[in-house]
Amino acid sequence: MKKKLSERIAERAKLKQHSRNAKNRAQFLNVRDEIQEALDEKWTLKDIWETLHIEGTITFSYEAFRKHVNAWQNPSKPPTNEKREAQTNKDDDKKNATTGTKPEKSFELPGFKYNPIPNKEELY
């Protein structure tokens, strides 16, 4: 039976002089089905990594292993805070455009307010 393309690429990456990251990814891709089975059986990432590392299947650190697993399970990154704020502002603008109202924004902080011109009633 012919091997999967990802398996063939992983084998080729092992033989070539690629960067360390490429070798790590190739090692991870070779065992990702086994990793998924272990995760489905509720094994922890640390246990999976230790076993594969002791067997010599993977040679990279636990932190790199975690990053590979997270990238594989969550292929798209969640938006950053700046993107969320921009999206929220766009949504607010759309709501205000449809209702015809302007948002009331107060830029003053609650509490003490400095006034350089003294109020004579407050001085006594």
Answer positive or negative: Cα dihedral of 6, 9, 15, 16. Answer: negative
Question: Would you say the pTM of this structure is higher than 0.75?
Answer: no
pLDDT digits (tens, 9 = 90+) for 10-55: 777 777 766 777 788 888 888 989 999 999 999 999 999 999 999 9
Mean pLDDT of the chain: 78
